[in-house]
Amino acid sequence: MTQQIPHPLSPQDCLVAVMIAISASDENMRTSELVKIEQAVNNLPVFAAYDIDRMNIMAQTVFDLFEQEDGLDALFGLVRDNLPEHLYETAYALACDVAAADGTLREEELRLLEEIRYELTIDRLHAAAIERGARARHLPG
């Protein structure tokens, strides 16, 4: 039984859900990843009017979905239903930033990034550019 979400997902809820999903994909949400999510929500224009209290609701929604056998499919269904197509690359870029935040891309994160590319029909060339940007931003000094 899926938890009822108090109101329909906003595009920002979808972006937060994707970031939480990539962080939780290896069953270990690292501090650096959580900080990256918080920085994105606090600083990016797409989140300007976002109710920060919704983050906890989205986190619980993602955790509940991940406990279900087809939870990932359900998550992508929610995202595709509620995220405008022009924000698909934004979602992928945010996922890449969260995945790269701790300096290591784990197998689970790589698999989920591949799934996100597929589900959101991110062009391979665009995906490579987004991934390269995330790597460049997260290289150690």
Query: All domains of the chain, ordered by start, with CATH?
Result: 11-137 (1.10.3680)
pLDDT (0 to 100) of residue 140: 79
* Cβ–Cβ under 8 Å, residues 138 and 103: yes
CA distance 82 to 88: 11
pLDDT (0 to 100) of residue 138: 84
Q: pLDDT (tens digit, 9 = 90+) per residue, 83-117?
A: 999 999 999 999 999 999 988 888 999 999 999 99
Q: What is the amino acid identity at position 10? A: S
Q: pLDDT (tens digit, 9 = 90+) per residue, 16-72?
A: 999 999 999 988 888 999 999 999 999 999 999 999 999 999 999 999 999 999 999
CA distance 104 to 123: 24
Run of H or E residues at 126: helix 124-137
